[in-house]
Structure 1
Amino acid sequence: MRSTRATAAVERLKARSGNPDYTLVRTAAGLFGLVLGPVADPASRVSDWLPLDDFVAFVNAFGPQIPRRMTKADAAFEKQLVTKKPDA
């Protein structure tokens, strides 16, 4: 089922936000939408109708984000990736 990615994205959003009222809506045309609260209320729609990939990207960027865990090794590696500006 193609909507598994969309469902998983909405479940992650519910966990991040602490709000279990987010719901996935799928149209007959295969487009996805995100609603908050009752599906029957058109004012509760949070997103436009989007194709699967765009919907998953929207939901992943929507709401509070969990900060990325940084280990000492990760921080040292990122520090090495930063290029130094040449002295003028």
Structure 2
Amino acid sequence: MRSTRATAAIERLNRRAEGHQYSMVVTSGGFFKLRELVAGECKEIGEPLDLESFVRFVDAQGPQKAPRISKYDAAFAKQLVKKS
């Protein structure tokens, strides 16, 4: 199903943004809308977007997860700084 990627993006956003509840709506034209539940009312965030744009938009919302850095990546970055 087309909306699986969009649904997964909403799930990730809900995990990152504790205390907020987000959902999505698919319009008859195939566009996606992001909604936030605030005090029992749905508030639309942004405008209707196609699937790719919607997933990028949702991933940019809320607090961002810090990327994992392995000890090898950290050592490599340290070597790059020494050479500069």
TM-score (norm 1): 0.79
Kindly report which structure 2 residues correspond to 1:4-83, keeping only aligned pairs within 5 A, or say none.
Answer: 4-19=4-19, 21-37=21-37, 44-79=43-78
Alpha-carbon distance between aligned partners in 1 of 2:33 and 2:80, rounded to the nearest angstrom:
38
Instruction: Note the aligned Cα RMSD (angstroms).
Output: 2.2
Would the alpha carbon gap of residues 73 and 6 (structure 1) be closer, same or farther in structure 2, given more than 3 Å must change?
same
- TM-fit CA distance, 1:28: 0.6
Amino-acid identity (%): 48
- TM-fit CA distance, 1:14: 0.1
Alpha-carbon distance between aligned partners in 2 of 1:4 and 1:81, rounded to the nearest angstrom:
40
- Secondary structure of 2:46's match? coil
In structure 2, runs of 5+ residues without a counterpart are none
Please list the CA deviations of residues 29-72 of structure 1 after superposition, one character each: whole Å capped at 9, or x if unmatched.
Answer: 0000100117xx57x10121000000000001111011111121
TM-score (norm 2): 0.82
**Structure of larger gyration radius:** 1
The count of corresponding residues between Structure 1 and Structure 2 is: 81
Structure with more of its chain in strand, by fraction: 2
Alpha-carbon distance between aligned partners in 2 of 1:80 and 1:54, rounded to the nearest angstrom:
37
In structure 1, runs of 5+ residues without a counterpart are none
- Secondary structure of 1:18's match? coil
